[in-house]
Structure 1
Amino acid sequence: MCGIAGIIGKNQDGEHLKKMLQVMKHRGPDATHTVSLQSDGFLGHNRLSIIDLNKRATQPIWDHTHRYCLVFNGEIYNYRALRSELLQLGHVFKTHSDSEVLVEAWMAWGTDSISRLIGMFAFAIWDDVQKRLTLVRDRLGEKPLYYSLIHNRQSQLLIFASELKGLIQHPDMKKKISSQALMHYLTFNYTQHHQSIFEHVLQLSPACYLQYDYLSNTSHIHCYWELSKFFQNKSTISYRSAQAQLNDLLHDAVQLQMFSDVPTGAFLSGGLDSSTLVSTMSRHTNDKVNTYSIGFREHSYDESQLSQKTAAHFSTVHYEKTISHLSTDTLEQCCSVFDEPFADTSLIPMYLLCELASNKVGVALSGDGGDEIFGGYRTYQADRYYQKIQYLPMFFKKCLLRGAHYLPTSFSKLSFDYQAKQFFNGVMLSPESAHLHWRKIFSPSHRALLCHEPISIDPAAHDLSFFDQVRDCHFLDQAMYVDVKTWLVDDILTKVDRISMAHSLEVRAPFLDYRIVEFAASLPVHYKIAGTQGKRLLRDSQRRYLPKHVLSHSKQGFNFPISTQLSHSLFEMAYDVTTSSQMATHFSIDYIKRLWIEHQNRLCDNGHRLFNLLCFGLWYQNYF
């Protein structure tokens, strides 16, 4: 895993690129190198050594004809098979790295090489003959890539970087908050994958590549993979055969991702996804697997006994850290790794988990993606109940909504009152809007009270457009597809990338091997969700490998007890940040104080809303 950056344009200063790389040093602490493209610009790379630790494998790297120059962040898991194929075609290699295989593959097959890659990646390739830069991002969006096309009187250039904090080091970048991005953040706790919190800064969308023609100063974006096709074209495979095929795919994905020149371990919550990976890893090695987990003193959030029991079952070398309370310094450290506002409370245990694992290993396998592709989230059950409740008369639904607001407020994990209020507010909406509503933080009415000026932007409009791409599918398939295109890339993978890279730890997600994702998408809905049981196929495929306590355990989620902490150890700092003069430039402080009063008096659990504002406030302090 690494950090990449580049500037394509005339009369550029290489010192600007060095500053961009310096603020991303955590992504690649082992080496930093740049290359001048003569008068055409610069490419740069921060290296985290995972494959071929020799200095000869440093980047930027040219192909053997010196036409193509590559900077690459990520891993190509099938690079050894590609290397063998290229050797047969006459290519010559000086290293054993996946980066050299990638640049030689580009020389052999051009953009067609992308479809051959199994991995997670964001890379840039400069064609020194055509004077063309190509930016590429992996299919699911595991690795980030920011860019900006700048047109002014002084220059016309393209700038790119792995992180926003790198991009804005260039003097031509201006930090102006995008109203659309801010509204999306307030609504969902994160910004969208095709834009950023700053105007004129974009992210390359997953499964896309951008080609920038330097001579004509034109750019075009192309999509090289369409997941919707696999949802639409359903397989007729039998349920028993599907179990066998899933196991084969998992075995291959895990085996590929276990390969590394540094120590490898796994995150283990004790749930179905992580236990499946640890079980598969144990069957692929004679060594004991290193596993890592986080526990909580607050009982409703703690799953440490489950992870300990699972670790003992597979005889892993298990490491665990228990969170009793959260200091303000730790929270500020957690939030500082994000270069855009981000407020998923699981960022806190994830930060501490990566910190724990990075002391022992350089690579950790994680179960991310299993819930989205196999239907594990509680929100899919909410979608089912939504369909049933639509048969009720409107006046009865309104009575249920009013009744939910009289439930006593609880700060426990997945509390009934919080879920009930969220659900019954959603049943008044369309099925598509209701699915997105389950995760909303500030509703339109809340945003109207919070923001100084009403903004007519619908933050969910882009997310809703993904439903149209699978309109003919079962609604639960639509929901899973939309989650892959939004929640997975914008929340889960953003969190994992920024936090793991802050600790120079490479986190790999076998469930996001595109072959598994395509396979899961092609399956009938009832293979994945049957009644109130999610991840049916995954669970049944693992019955011969996993202990009963894992198979019978219900989905819990990786959350943090933020509502309780905001009322105690974090209160003073959080209150000061959220009611500061800086926040007053964007929001109504009177309304924020009202949220605090409701929360402290347990009139309403405003923990997620207040944490949203706190994370924005901390981010704002760092960037302005």
Structure 2
Amino acid sequence: MCGIAGFFQQQPVSLAAVQGMLSALRRRGPDAEHVVGWNTQGQRNDAASEVGLIHTRLAIIDPRPEADQPFSNDDGSIWICYNGEVYDWQQHADELRAQGVQFKTHSDTEFILRGYEAWGLEDLLPKLRGMFAFAILDWNKREVFLARDRMGLKPLVYTTANDGLAFGSLVRSVLPSVPKAQRQFSPESIDAYLAHRYIPAPRTIFQHIHRLENAHYLHYRLDTQQLTKHCYWQPHGESGSGEKAWQKELDTAIRIRTVADRPLGVFLSGGIDSSTIACRLEEQGFDQLQTFSAAFLGSPLDESPVAKQIADTLGLPNQAIPVPLTIANDFEQIIADLDEPFADPSSFPSWYLAQATTQHVKVVLGGDGGDELLGGYKRLGKHLRTSWRRLLRLPLPRMADMAGKGWRKIVSELRLNWLEAYSLRFSGMTPGQRAFLQPGLKAPAVTYWRYPSIDALNQLSPLKQLLAVDLNNYLPEYILRKGDLCTMAHGLELRAPLLDHVWAERVMALPDSERFTQPAKKLFASVTERLASLDLFNLKKRGFNPPLKPWLQQDLHHHFAGLGQRLQTSTQGQINAARVERFIAEYRNRPALAEQVLQLLILDASLSQLEAMAKSC
């Protein structure tokens, strides 16, 4: 797991820009860092480079310097810069060895490079099982490939703003390569953030920096500067042999993610997904793995006592990590580690959990993905109850309002088609709230999500349509982005067995009666029998949200002064200062607006940091 960046330009990139890109990645890779540069003809020139690869390493597999990156083939004609973990690749490596390929390391980095040499990218990608974002620079063909994994566990952003191509793991690692005259915030992205609490791919907060979508790769030609984007995978159901093919594949997905040369642990909540992983690990003989649980002491949301019961039942050691009651000292650093505006309240406890966990282990398995595959979210059932109006969309006016509740919310929903209205089941701002705060924004998009094609959607049931929307948007750009940013900020690798694409395809092939149950995820009952006495399937889902009220009233209270004017200035007038102040005043009488107020505070802090960086780097 690492931080990656690079550039492919026609003019030398300044040393200051290179150092700026490297500096943004250091928290992701504390174990080693390297920069390799060339001129446009492929000759090494680290001092004044037109072409360069940048890498900061969190060493998990083969931590020797021999496996550091950027990594090249024997004659230096092909290079890789890679972030992630690919699992279960040894069988494919054996095929290469049988053809005479000699490996210098036992790292998956070298396997990807050697696999590209032997098979090319199109034939290599289907053989990669895991999470990855990588760049391959091929001087023989004078081509560059940038690829992101199927589910979107690893991030990749890029820009073509400087008559070339630059990329990185973070928006902040790409910004130094963007000319200062082109570092404007995107008005659409600001509105997208207000709508969704994050900025969905392919957008980022900057007009000229883009996020590569999951399951896509870029192909760039050095000589012509031609850039094309390709989708290489679509989720689909694939049945396996045997009655319990899904169970066998689940155990495989978990087992292959235990391979590491650094200490391994498990994130354990009181939920079904992480407890299933812990249960299967114990069954496979990993009975001494340390488990880590976030504790909201004194809160009804605290799942750590249930997590302790699960761990005790399985005989696994458990450590409860108290989420601090105050965030005042860490707020600015957390905002920086979230890279661009990102307002999931659970990112704060996630950040603290990772900070404490990395003191004990460097790799953790987590339970992300079960809800998206097995329909575990309550919002799905709520929205399905309105599926009778799938073809109904009324020509009602858009109304600006602060509350976002009552009859105005109903009007907002009836203005949208059924699939678009699914976005209102999330906790971003309503269309009315967005219109209130941005009175001059003309005809903003209803949603900034990516949707499957109409033909693909028409083949799906209403529930599977909603899950397809989640797999394109909420999962990769919200859940997984949060997990990656919060863990990698502390040099901790997070692995997600339930998002193994082979296991996911087994689940998608199951009959609906097995896949979608009441209560949700009863599929896991047969593989968690040791936990049956805890009745986990009937426990109320508590979520992972922090105590916002004291944080807003105490820790972050001083951020309210001048908030409206700062947002109006940083958004070039898009957000209205007076209306922000009215929104804050409304919150004092209506505490239910706490998440939306936090959203504004995070936007202000993030834009302020990014403005300062854009001026200085």
How does the TM-score come out when normalised to structure 1?
0.88
Residues 391 and 455 (structure 1), Cα distance of their counterparts in 2 relative to 1, 3 Å cut: closer
1:432–1:464 CA contact under 8 A, matched in 2: no
Alignment of 1:358 with 2:358, yes or no, is: yes
Superposition map of 1:378-527 within 5 A:
378-387=378-387, 426=413, 429-460=416-447, 462-464=449-451, 469-527=456-514
Q: Which residue of 1 aligns with 2:38?
A: 37
Shift of 1:282: 1.5
Q: Which residue of 1 aligns with 2:258?
A: 258
Alignment of 1:69 with 2:56, yes or no, is: no
Distance in 2, matches of 1:391 and 1:211, equals 39
Of 571, 589, 593, 2:577 maps to 589
Superposition map of 1:186-585 within 5 A:
186-227=194-235, 229-230=236-237, 244-323=244-323, 325-387=325-387, 426=413, 429-460=416-447, 462-464=449-451, 469-530=456-517, 532-543=518-529, 547-562=533-548, 564-576=549-561, 578-584=563-569, 585=573
What secondary structure does 2:386 align onto? helix
What secondary structure does 2:457 align onto? coil
Distance in 1, matches of 2:150 and 2:390, equals 36
Alignment of 1:57 with 2:43, yes or no, is: no
Shift of 1:141: 0.9
Q: Which residue of 2 aligns with 1:623?
A: 610
What secondary structure does 1:22 align onto? helix
Q: Which residue of 1 aligns with 2:173?
A: 166
Paired AA for residue 219 in structure 1: L
Percent identity, aligned pairs only, is 29
Shift of 1:384: 2.8
Q: Which residue of 1 aligns with 2:398?
A: none
Q: Which residue of 1 aligns with 2:124?
A: 113
> Which of 265-274 and 573-582 deviates more?
573-582
Measured against aligned partners, the alpha-carbon deviations of 1:428-460 in whole angstroms (never above 9, x if no partner) come to 743212322101522222111101412313141
How does the TM-score come out when normalised to structure 2?
0.89
Of 559, 564, 589, 1:601 maps to 589
Q: Which residue of 2 aligns with 1:79?
A: 89
Paired AA for residue 188 in structure 1: H
Distance in 1, matches of 2:14 and 2:100, equals 35
1:7–1:42 CA contact under 8 A, matched in 2: yes
Distance in 1, matches of 2:583 and 2:497, equals 41
Unaligned runs of 5+ in 2: 42-50, 395-403, 612-617
What secondary structure does 1:270 align onto? coil
Alignment of 1:96 with 2:106, yes or no, is: yes
Q: Which residue of 2 aligns with 1:25?
A: 26
Paired AA for residue 60 in structure 2: I
> Which of 129-138 and 244-253 deviates more?
244-253
What secondary structure does 2:220 align onto? strand
Shift of 1:7: 1.1
Shift of 1:50: 0.3
What secondary structure does 2:599 align onto? helix
Paired AA for residue 223 in structure 1: C
Q: Which residue of 2 aligns with 1:399?
A: none
Residues 467 and 435 (structure 1), Cα distance of their counterparts in 2 relative to 1, 3 Å cut: farther
Distance in 2, matches of 1:218 and 1:389, equals 44
Distance in 1, matches of 2:519 and 2:508, equals 18
2:389–2:418 CA contact under 8 A, matched in 1: no
1:543–1:551 CA contact under 8 A, matched in 2: no
What secondary structure does 2:219 align onto? strand
Measured against aligned partners, the alpha-carbon deviations of 1:167-217 in whole angstroms (never above 9, x if no partner) come to 112252532111111111100100012121101211111111111011122
Paired AA for residue 103 in structure 1: L
Distance in 2, matches of 1:80 and 1:199, equals 42
2:157–2:212 CA contact under 8 A, matched in 1: yes
1:187–1:441 CA contact under 8 A, matched in 2: yes
Q: Which runs of 4+ in 1 moved over 6 A?
A: 388-392, 420-425
Paired AA for residue 333 in structure 1: Q
Shift of 1:556: 2.5
Unaligned runs of 5+ in 1: 395-403, 407-419
Shift of 1:468: 5.5
Distance in 2, matches of 1:189 and 1:161, equals 22
Over the aligned positions, Cα root-mean-square deviation in angstroms equals: 2.7
2:287–2:315 CA contact under 8 A, matched in 1: no
Residues 579 and 454 (structure 1), Cα distance of their counterparts in 2 relative to 1, 3 Å cut: closer
1:577–1:618 CA contact under 8 A, matched in 2: no
Distance in 2, matches of 1:84 and 1:14, equals 42
Residues 430 and 446 (structure 1), Cα distance of their counterparts in 2 relative to 1, 3 Å cut: same
> Which of 46-55 and 588-597 deviates more?
588-597
Residues 302 and 421 (structure 1), Cα distance of their counterparts in 2 relative to 1, 3 Å cut: farther
Residues 34 and 573 (structure 1), Cα distance of their counterparts in 2 relative to 1, 3 Å cut: same
Alignment length, in residue pairs?
Answer: 587
Distance in 2, matches of 1:571 and 1:167, equals 30
1:262–1:363 CA contact under 8 A, matched in 2: yes
Distance in 1, matches of 2:411 and 2:257, equals 42
Residues 176 and 286 (structure 1), Cα distance of their counterparts in 2 relative to 1, 3 Å cut: closer
Distance in 1, matches of 2:482 and 2:302, equals 21
1:75–1:121 CA contact under 8 A, matched in 2: yes
Distance in 2, matches of 1:424 and 1:307, equals 42
